[in-house]
Amino acid sequence: MTPSNNTNNRSSERRYTLTISCPDRAGIIAAVSGFIAQHGGFIVEASYHTDQESQRFFMRQEIRADSLPFDVSEFSSRFSGVAQTFGMTWQISDSARRKRLVLLVSKQDHCLDDLLYRWRSGELQADIPCVISNHEDLRSFVEWHGIPFHYVNIPSNNEPAKVAAFAEIARLYDTACGDVMVLARFMQILPLDLCGRYAGRIINIHHSFLPSFAGARPYHQAFQRGVKLIGATCHYASAELDAGPIIEQDTVRIDHGDSVVDMVRYGRDIEKTVLARGLRYHVEDRVLICGNKTIVFK
């Protein structure tokens, strides 16, 4: 199924997005901008940041594709000399090549529903080649959107079968040529090897304002603690549970009259918006990882 009005909502201007991380020193901006200008490139958006603690420099530039006489492959070849001079970790992406999002879900559908609506309306400009779940509950909803649904049973008390199940999830992700694995309330802990294999490519939504209340039943933890704010956190999955680099967060105020049920209800709204924002930042190459932190060029 193709979103009905994707074409109408999408900008017709094709862009290349260049992101860079390197040790901070004089001349980086001049070298990069000079390289682009030398080839007639037109920069339409530019962002810069120096992390004082690590002394690393971060840059993001959007360039009009039609202003350059070559494609991203030749850009990469020609730019490699500049990158080597400054010890850059860098990448360039083409807006004409939409990122492929593989969504992982369990039984709760609010984040999935929100992402599919944004995809269907054209707000989320990405492709969704498939949805993977450890339950069958959401199959008909996903398939109504014309998206393949894969059920993978993940037994809780059989470790070899569990290992095989996550190997199958990795296989499905690779077969779908996924760029990002989105844990849209996927209520399973990923194995360490999977987190390492796809580092910086697995995005999770956790239903608390991390680092507070990591792990299971965070709303119950928050209720017992008597907090006045609850929140949600979009972050990259890492080997340590709910401790990966944070992309986006938000909160809502509560009071002594709110029950756990109320908090869960409020939280669902925050989870949807925080995941959508964080995922959009990633899809648009606005997130650069700096240790266990992120630089987000909004």
d(C-alpha 71, C-alpha 58), whole Å: 23
Architecture of domain 6-94: 2-Layer Sandwich (3.30)
Architecture of domain 100-296: 3-Layer(aba) Sandwich (3.40)
Query: Annotated catalytic residue: which of 127, 179, 242, 285?
Result: 242
pTM as predicted: 0.93
**Residue 23: its H or E element:** strand 15-23
With 0-12 / 13-18 / 19 or more C-beta atoms within 10 angstroms meaning exposed / middle / buried, residue 132 is buried
The better pLDDT of the pair 84, 8 is held by 84
**Per-residue pLDDT at 7 exceeds 80:** no
Contact 282, 181 (CB under 8 A): no
Residue spans of the domains in the chain: they are 6-94, 100-296
- Predicted local distance difference test score (pLDDT) of residue 12: 67
Average pLDDT, the chain: 94
- Is 242 catalytic? The answer is yes
- Predicted local distance difference test score (pLDDT) of residue 156: 86
**Per-residue pLDDT at 271 exceeds 50:** yes
pLDDT in tens, 53-72: 999 999 999 999 999 999 99
- Predicted local distance difference test score (pLDDT) of residue 215: 87
Q: What percent of the chain has pLDDT over 70?
A: 96
